[in-house]
Amino acid sequence: MCDQCNYENLLSNADLVATTNRIQVLEIVGNNTFPLSAGDIYAILERTSSINRVTVYRILDLLVEHGVVDRISTGGRAFYYGIAPNEHHKPHPHFYCRICGQMDCLSPESVTVDIAPLLKTYPGRIEKVEIRIDGICKNCAKVGKK
Amino acid sequence: MCDQCNYENLLSNADLVATTNRIQVLEIVGNNTFPLSAGDIYAILERTSSINRVTVYRILDLLVEHGVVDRISTGGRAFYYGIAPNEHHKPHPHFYCRICGQMDCLSPESVTVDIAPLLKTYPGRIEKVEIRIDGICKNCAKVGKK
DNA sequence: ATTGCATGTGCAACTTAATTGCACTTATGG
DNA sequence: CCATAAGTGCAATTAAGTTGCACATGCAAT
């Protein structure tokens, strides 16, 4: 997703020791142009590393907690993970294909939001705004599944 | 959620036979001011009816498929269900409290969105725009959990 | 170097939410 | 009244994530 990112730095900036496992997980998340599920990430890692499934979950939790990675909910049952918004990566909406489960990043400009009225009146704490477009992606639409 | 709604009509308008089970499920979804999870709905029904848990899931799937009910994803692991947008119920964003899991409906005016740029350029089919605000609700914020 | 912790990882078992397969029941048209 | 389809129930299974506990590793203070 990003050339400017040094993943070890990202980790230490987030007060996290840059262990091999953490770097590997973060690399996979970061080098993808679209968010991946924990299962996806584990499947990729498993091919070259002997990391445990649970460790992947725990590292993802940790990265989310420290704001390095963003947990994105889909129209499906699993969470997806992408690099958290930062100076190089503006927050942006996502598209979820209900046929193939593929999740795409949309450009930040493709959808504009104004939550000012909410901020003025909402009595709780607002931490995150998630915008997800659901539908059928180009490929699946072509195949003609309804 | 609505006084104008006759649930039996809602069902038959959606080409669904108005069975007791379906009406009961739809009533619970519709009479609530906020979306409920399938588990919540089952728990409520179970007290007065002998409906099966699986039947609740199947009815909810059916209602979603026929556009009567809206499946809303949370920042958590379960789906929530609310009456689908219709003439009486405008689409609106939701607030999800990451502490207690409570999901609230926000007024349609509290957040404004413009997806025109996306509509112009996106090559797939867009079916739904979901806006979810995550954070901590008033009550949980008061208790002081971080 | 040795001890003592805290942090990180692995493994097995468990939990939650949802789904599937199949049998039984009910409603409806002929 | 019968045939068929639609609706429902029950048991078993799956998917995704979580927990408890043991082992490992790194580092600081002796």
A105-123 confidence digits (pLDDT tens): 999 999 999 999 999 999 9
B144 pLDDT band (50/70/90 cuts)? low
CA angle A7, A21, A89 (to 5 degrees): 30
**Is the CB atom of residue B64 positioned under 7 angstroms from any atom of strand C?**
no
Across B38-44, average pLDDT: 95
B92 Cβ within 7 A of any nucleic strand D atom: no
List CB contacts (< 8 A) between A98 and chain B: 127
The two structure tokens encoding residue A104? 């795409």
Give every CB contact of residue A27 below 8 A, 6+ residues apart in sequence.
A7
Instruction: Provide, as residue numbers in chain A, all residues whose Cβ is less than 8 Å from the Cβ of B128.
Output: 75, 133-135
Query: For residue B88, what pLDDT is reported?
Result: 85
Residues 6+ apart with CB under 8 A from B29: B35, B36, B41, B63, B69, B81, B82, B83
What are the DSSP E strand ranges found in chain B?
A: 36-37, 69-73, 79-83, 94-97, 103-105, 112-114, 125-136
Instruction: Tell me which protein residue sits closest to nucleotide C26, measuring alpha carbon to C1'.
Output: B19
The amino acid occupying position B50 is: S
Spell out the domains of chain A, with CATH numbers in brackets.
Answer: 7-143 (1.10.10.10)
pLDDT for position A37: 96
User: Which of A95, A111, A135 lies nearest to residue B113, judging by beta carbons?
Assistant: A111
The torsion of the CA quartet B123, A95, B79, B85, rounded to 10 degrees, works out to -50
Q: pLDDT digits over A48-71, tens only?
A: 999 999 999 999 999 999 999 999
